[in-house]
């Protein structure tokens, strides 16, 4: 009997130890869970604080740029905002200074691992913070050049040199700028020329005779072809950007059979289509292929054919154009079946609108209004706009072939 009692007591002691072990494990798990939850809440709090600082710095930079009439690219130290624009320059939640990216116009935090890269060693924290910076501070989405033709002069505005204006060629009929920003095509005196390094020491190369008297030129996204409208604005020609005689010869893509005239052309992303405007207030999409099928996308565009030059966005989703409504830029999808809210610029840009141009990254729109060149954010037109010609004086009355590369 005593032996049986000892066995029962041992069994009870075994159960107690097992129960104690389970209890300890449960407490440990709960403690770890609570600790991880605390860390998560702390991380979220830091993320919220970071986003709050982004907004504060963004507004300070906007005021700074308005006062200095310049792009933010020369300013990469937030301490320059102290005093007039900030009572105190904040540091990020990890006690590091915020960084202003002088090339992309972004505000960045180094995050918990001290690295500025967008995707760092699988760290979603830094990636999220960088994305927040992109959303909140998108002054310019790309450095680049804005070009147009004014009174037989090819004029280029350089975004990375304080929007400085340069006349790269005079006495021309048309000018088109390539996507590499180094190459352009010029129509002058009945011939076509390929221009390279036109902001430095220009180099020119003959492309032979032009297919006719040309008014407007546009270079394809892959920098291999051009589209051109003749001076009577009745025909569109397609030709190669090459001096190789084995290349196909220029061909007449489309000739309107009506009394309407055609604006400067704009290439689609896949280079299979061309968008043009007409002096009848329409935007057309024309297939670059057999039959050159034409589709009317909208009939609410400007009636001045020079001003009604559409611009196809780099992602291929939207075509922007000057509306019949004064001070309004509108958008239509390539299929003509979708719209996005019109961009009202009448509050700051007086006069009728001229041609428009998407920025390379699709976050900004450049447009001509009366004699001035403006840049505006479609997402924030009321609080983000910039008059380029305020810092780079230039009369752009009658400007055409506007393009941003």
The model's pLDDT over 186-200, given as tens digits with 9 standing for 90+, comes to: 999 899 999 888 888
Nearest to 401 by CA among 187, 158, 84, 111: 187
Tell me whether residue 45 is exposed, middle or buried, using C-beta atoms within 10 angstroms of its C-beta: 0 to 12, 13 to 18, 19 or more: exposed
pLDDT band at 313 (very low <50, low <70, confident <90, very high): very high
Averaged over 21-34, what is the pLDDT?
A: 59
Residue pLDDT, tens place only, 68-106: 655 544 455 677 788 888 888 888 888 887 777 544 456
The CATH-assigned architecture of domain 13-136 is: 2-Layer Sandwich (3.30)
pLDDT band at 220 (very low <50, low <70, confident <90, very high): very high
What angle is formed at CA 234 by the lines to CA 231 and CA 235, rounded to 5 degrees?
A: 90
Strands 174-177 and 385-387: unpaired
CA distance 295 to 301: 15
| Backbone phi and psi for residue 114, each to the nearest 5 degrees, phi listed first | 75, 15
Reduce the DSSP state of residue 164 to 3 states and report it. strand
Q: Please compute, for residue 152, the number of CA atoms within 13 A of its CA located in the half-sphere on the CB side.
A: 7
Averaged over 348-377, what is the pLDDT?
A: 88
Averaged over 168-175, what is the pLDDT?
A: 92
Residue pLDDT, tens place only, 318-335: 999 999 888 899 999 999
Tell me, what's the pLDDT at 122? 28
CA distance 285 to 377: 25
* Position 384 pLDDT exceeds 70: yes
* Position 121 pLDDT exceeds 50: no
Domain ranges of the chain: 13-136, 145-404
Tell me, what's the pLDDT at 54? 79
Per DSSP, the residues of 64-81 read HHHHHTS-GGG---GGGG
CA distance 41 to 115: 22
Tell me, what's the pLDDT at 4? 44
Tokens of 66: 């308005």
* Position 28 pLDDT exceeds 80: no
| Backbone phi and psi for residue 288, each to the nearest 5 degrees, phi listed first | -90, 80
Lowest mean pLDDT segment, chosen from 16-20, 50-54, 159-163, 301-305? 16-20
CA distance 128 to 93: 14
Residue pLDDT, tens place only, 195-219: 888 888 888 889 889 988 999 999 9
CB atoms within 10 A of CB 381: 18
What share of the chain has pLDDT > 70, as a percent?
A: 74
Tell me, what's the pLDDT at 140? 44
Tell me, what's the pLDDT at 22? 60
Pick one of 2.40.50.250, 3.40.718.10, 2.120.10.30, 3.30.70.60 as the CATH number of 145-404: 2.120.10.30
Can you give the pTM of this predicted structure? Answer: 0.67
Tell me, what's the pLDDT at 55? 81
């Amino acid at each position: 009997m005593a032996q049986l009692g000892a066995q029962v007591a041992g069994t009870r002691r075994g159960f107690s130890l097992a129960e104690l072990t389970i209890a300890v494990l449960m407490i440990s798990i709960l403690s770890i869970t609570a600790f991880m939850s605390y860390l998560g809440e702390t991380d979220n709090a830091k993320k919220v604080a970071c986003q709050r600082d982004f907004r504060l710095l963004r507004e300070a930079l906007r005021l700074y740029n308005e006062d200095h009439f310049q792009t933010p690219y020369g300013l990469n130290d937030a301490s320059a905002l102290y005093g007039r624009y900030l009572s105190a320059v904040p540091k990020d939640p990890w006690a590091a200074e915020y960084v202003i990216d002088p090339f992309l116009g972004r505000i960045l935090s180094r995050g918990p691992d001290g690295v500025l890269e967008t995707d760092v060693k699988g760290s979603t924290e830094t990636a999220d913070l960088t994305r927040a910076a992109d959303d909140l501070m998108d002054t310019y989405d790309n450095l680049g050049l804005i070009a147009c033709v004014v009174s037989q002069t090819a004029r280029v505005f350089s975004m990375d040199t304080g929007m400085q204006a340069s006349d790269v060629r005079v006495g021309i009929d048309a000018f088109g700028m390539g996507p590499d920003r180094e190459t352009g095509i010029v129509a002058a005196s009945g011939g076509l020329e390929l221009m390279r390094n036109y902001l430095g020491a220009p180099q020119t190369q003959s492309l032979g005779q032009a297919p006719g008297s040309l008014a407007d030129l546009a270079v394809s996204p892959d920098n291999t072809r051009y589209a051109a409208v003749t001076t009577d604005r009745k025909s569109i020609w397609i030709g190669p950007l090459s001096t190789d005689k084995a290349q196909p010869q220029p061909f007449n893509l489309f000739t309107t059979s009506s009394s309407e005239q055609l604006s400067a052309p704009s290439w689609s992303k896949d280079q299979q289509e061309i968008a043009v405007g007409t002096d009848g207030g329409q935007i057309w999409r024309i297939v670059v292929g057999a039959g050159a099928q034409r589709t009317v996308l909208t009939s609410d565009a400007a009636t001045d054919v020079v001003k009604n030059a559409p611009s196809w966005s780099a992602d291929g989703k939207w075509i922007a154009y000057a509306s019949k409504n004064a001070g309004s830029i509108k958008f239509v999808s390539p299929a003509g079946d979708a719209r996005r809210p019109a961009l009202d610029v009448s509050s700051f840009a007086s006069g009728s609108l001229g041609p428009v141009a998407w920025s390379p990254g699709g976050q900004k729109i450049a447009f001509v209004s009366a004699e001035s060149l403006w840049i505006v954010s479609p997402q924030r037109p009321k609080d983000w706009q910039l008059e380029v010609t305020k810092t780079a004086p230039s009369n752009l009355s009658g400007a055409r072939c506007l393009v941003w590369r």
